[in-house]
Amino acid sequence: MKKLFNLFFIISSFFQLNTVQASQPIPVQVQVQTEVLQGSVILSLQNFEKESLAIEFYPGALSTVKFAPARLVLTPGEKAQLKLQHVEFTEGRQVLHMESSVMSSEQGGSQNGPFVHETLWVSRGVPKKISFEEGFLRQRVRLQNAEKSEAPKIDLGGFIDAHPISALTFKANSIPANMRIQPFRFASPLEYARLKPRQLPRPSEPQNGKPPGLTPPNFTPEEVEITEPSPEVNASFTSPSATSPSALPFDLNTNSTLTLHGTMSLQTAPGTYKAAWGWVVKTWQWQTSMWRFLGWTYVGGDGSWSIQFASNLVLPGVPVRVEYLTKNRFISLQDPSGNPYAWGDDWTLTGTNTDIGSRYADLTVNGNLPGVDQLYVGATHVWVKFYNTGMNALRDEPIQVTFANALSTGQCVYKDSNGNPYAWSCSYWSDGKIYIIPAHANEGVVQHEIGHSINSYYWNGNMPSDAGGTHTLKGCFTNGLALTEGFADFLAYWVQLDRNTSAPTITAFNMNLESLPSNVCNGQTNEMRVAATFWDLYDYWNDGSGTSADTLLYTDQATSVAIYLNNNKSKMADYLAVTQAGQNAYWQGELTKLFKLNTIIP
C-alpha cells in the first residue's frame, strides 16, 4: 500500500485566508512529495529557487521511523526522486518526521529546508497514513459523566479560571523507583504573576562591548532572586487502591484537614523525567450525581504538589480524581476544541495524609503527546526570563496555544500553488491566540509566536498596517512585516541564549545572527536584519568596523526588548531615533554605526 503526501513551499502562490496573523517563516521553495511503501520511503522533489540547492534530509526529533540521512543537489527547476535507505518501520503507531538542511550555490552557510511530519499506522509491515488526531488525540479516555461537573472559579494569579472537570484525559503513569526528577529553578507561578500589567523597566544606558575572544565586560544584570528547590527528587511510589474502599482513620464529623500530595513530571525520553513546573493540579470527587471540586494547586519547581481540603467535603471510600492540566497563568496548551490537555487517575484516601507518589505524563516520541514538552517548556522560559528582567509577559488571560493545528480548526490555513489548503503555524494579532502544527513542536517556534502575542498586547493590537502574511527568513518583504517578525525571531534568541554567545544560532531558524548568509536580503524589510540589530543591542561582543560596527550593549538584559515594546513604530529605522534619544553625541554616533552594520540604514 502506498500513500502520497504533498508539501508545497511556493511563496509566490501562497494565498492567506485570514490576514490578521503573523505566521512562521516558510522554508526554501522546494516541493516535496513522499511515497510511503512497505519498507521504503521515496521522495519526489522539485526546486523552485533560482539557485542550485544541496539538500540533506535526516530524521527529525519526533521521528520514530528510522532511516539513513540522504543527500542530493537540485539545480533551478530540477525535478528528482530520492529513495531513503535503511528505512525501519515497527508495528503500531509511528511518526515519520523528516527535517533537512539546505546549502545554496550563492552562500556558504546552511539553513533549514523542507520537512515532512506524518503519523502512520503500521500493520504487518505495511504503513498507512493517519491523522495526528487519530494517532494521538483519540487515545485519550473519556471520563464518565464529565458533563455533570461543577465549574469552580480559581485564581491562577490575576485571572479567574472556571473550567469544569476534563472530559478527555491521558492516564498518568507511575515513575519507577529510584528514578530522578530533574527540577526547574523557578518560583511559584503566583510569584511571576504579581508584576503590574505591561510592566517594563526604564531603559538602561549603553556601555562599550568587547572584541570577540576577550573576557566579557564586568557586568552583572539585575535579576529577581528566585526560589531554588533541591537539586533532585527521589521518585518513590506507594499506590493506594483506586477502587477498593477502605476505612478512613479519621472522623468526618470533626472536620479535620486532609492532605493529598505527590509529584508530577514529564517523561521526555526513556529514563528522563523533568518536573511539570507550573501545571495546574485539580482534585474532584463524584458526589450525589455531580463531580464536586475539592481543591487545586500548581506543581512546584521540584515536581511536588500538595492540596488540602476539609474531611467533611469528602465521601469515605469514594475515589478522589486527580487531574494535571497543561495550563497556568501565562499559557494554556490546548486541543483544537479549546480544552487544556489533561492527565489523570483516581485515588482512595488512606488517612489524613495521602501520598500518591510520583506520576508522569509520557511525552516521549511515541508517547501520549510528543512535542508538548518542547512547547510548554519553551513558553515557560519566556515567562521566567521576562520576570527575571523586570518585565511582565502576561496578557489579560493566558495565551491559548492550540496544538496540533489542522485544517479542521480553520485557523492559519494557506493554499499551495495548486489551490490545495493546508494548516500552518501562526499567531493572531487581535487576541494573541496561537496555532502550531505537529512539525513545529519546538521551543523556538512557540517562543517566536509568543513574541507576537506579547507584542500585540503591549501595542493594543495596533500593529503596522503592512504586518502579517507569509514570509521567508532571507527575503525582503514590507517594513511592518520585517519589523514584527524580526522582533519575534530575536525574542527566541534572547530567551534561549546568553548575551556572551559569540555565534548566536538556534535550531528553529538555524542562522547565526552575527554572520548572516550572503543571500539574506539587505535592509530593514528583511526580518533577520531586524533580529540581528536587536541582538547587537543585547550582546557583549563587538563586530564590524569603521562606520558600520557594533561597539556597544545595554547595561541590562531587558532594554533591547523593552525599547521595542514601549515604542509602537512601523519600521526598524524608526528605532534609531528611539535609541538615540537622550544620549550624547558619542553614543548617538555608535548607535548609527550599529544600524548601518545591519543594513537598516544606508
- What pLDDT, on a 0 to 100 scale, did the predictor assign at position 108? 57
| Nearest alpha-carbon partner for 244 in 346, 363, 103, 112 | 346
User: Is 330 within a domain?
Assistant: no
User: Is 513 within a domain?
Assistant: yes
* pLDDT tens-digit series, residues 323-364: 999 999 999 999 999 999 999 999 999 999 999 999 999 999
User: Is 552 within a domain?
Assistant: yes
Look at residue 19 and tell me whether its pLDDT is greater than 70: no
- What pLDDT, on a 0 to 100 scale, did the predictor assign at position 212? 72
Co-location of 120 and 147 in the same domain? no
User: 453 exposed, middle or buried (CB, 10 Å; 0-12, 13-18, 19+)?
Assistant: buried
Q: Which phi and psi (to 5°) does residue 361 adopt? A: -100, 130
* Residues 54 and 71: beta-carbon distance below 8 Å: yes
User: Is 332 within a domain?
Assistant: no
Q: Which three cell numbers stand for residue 151?
A: 465549574
- What pLDDT, on a 0 to 100 scale, did the predictor assign at position 454? 98
Look at residue 231 and tell me whether its pLDDT is greater than 80: no
Q: Which phi and psi (to 5°) does residue 275 adopt? A: -55, 140
CA distance 51 to 219: 45
Residues 309-316: what's their mean pLDDT? Answer: 93
- What pLDDT, on a 0 to 100 scale, did the predictor assign at position 432? 96
Look at residue 413 and tell me whether its pLDDT is greater than 50: yes
Co-location of 159 and 212 in the same domain? no
Residues 438-458: what's their mean pLDDT? Answer: 97
Co-location of 167 and 54 in the same domain? no
**CATH number, domain with residue 38:** 2.60.40.10
Task: Name 124's Cβ contacts closer than 8 Å, sequence gap at least 6.
Answer: 91
User: Is 85 within a domain?
Assistant: yes
Residues 138-153: what's their mean pLDDT? Answer: 97
Residues 514-523: what's their mean pLDDT? Answer: 93
- What pLDDT, on a 0 to 100 scale, did the predictor assign at position 163? 96
- What pLDDT, on a 0 to 100 scale, did the predictor assign at position 20? 59
User: Is 429 within a domain?
Assistant: no
Co-location of 92 and 176 in the same domain? no
User: Is 602 within a domain?
Assistant: no
Look at residue 33 and tell me whether its pLDDT is greater than 80: yes
Q: How confident is the model at residue 295 (pLDDT cuts 50, 70, 90)?
A: very high
Look at residue 254 and tell me whether its pLDDT is greater than 70: no
* pLDDT tens-digit series, residues 467-479: 988 888 999 999 9
Co-location of 384 and 451 in the same domain? yes
What's the domain count of the chain? 3
* pLDDT tens-digit series, residues 94-118: 999 999 999 886 655 678 899 999 9
- What pLDDT, on a 0 to 100 scale, did the predictor assign at position 22? 81
Residues 160-189: what's their mean pLDDT? Answer: 95
Percent of the chain with pLDDT over 90: 80
- DSSP secondary structure letter of residue 164: -
Co-location of 493 and 510 in the same domain? yes
* pLDDT tens-digit series, residues 547-557: 999 999 999 99
Which of 361, 384, 419 corresponds to the end of one domain? Answer: 361
- What pLDDT, on a 0 to 100 scale, did the predictor assign at position 106? 64
Co-location of 312 and 263 in the same domain? yes
Q: Which residues are bridge partners to 306 per DSSP?
A: 261
User: Is 293 within a domain?
Assistant: yes
| Nearest alpha-carbon partner for 107 in 470, 524, 528, 483 | 528
Look at residue 211 and tell me whether its pLDDT is greater than 90: no
Look at residue 223 and tell me whether its pLDDT is greater than 70: no
Co-location of 267 and 378 in the same domain? no
CA distance 135 to 368: 10
Q: Which range of residues forms the domain containing residue 38? A: 3-130
Residues 377-393: what's their mean pLDDT? Answer: 97
Q: Which three cell numbers stand for residue 434?
A: 496561537
Residues 283-287: what's their mean pLDDT? Answer: 98
Q: How confident is the model at residue 28 (pLDDT cuts 50, 70, 90)?
A: confident
In one-letter notation, the amino acid at residue 528 is M
Co-location of 380 and 460 in the same domain? yes
Percent of the chain with pLDDT over 70: 89
Look at residue 410 and tell me whether its pLDDT is greater than 50: yes
**Which of 84-93, 214-223, 401-410 shows the lowest mean pLDDT across its residues?**
214-223
Co-location of 98 and 179 in the same domain? no
Q: How many CB atoms lie within 10 A of CB 156?
A: 21
| Nearest alpha-carbon partner for 184 in 329, 326, 302, 330 | 302
Look at residue 403 and tell me whether its pLDDT is greater than 80: yes
Co-location of 114 and 150 in the same domain? no
**Which of 44-53, 207-216, 533-542 shows the lowest mean pLDDT across its residues?**
207-216
Strand intervals (E) in 110-238: 110-112, 116-123, 126-130, 141-142, 154-155, 160-161, 168-171, 173-174, 179-182, 206-208, 233-235
Q: How far apart are the first and last CA of the chain?
A: 58
- DSSP secondary structure letter of residue 157: S
Which of 130, 153, 170 corresponds to the end of one domain? Answer: 130
Co-location of 257 and 309 in the same domain? yes
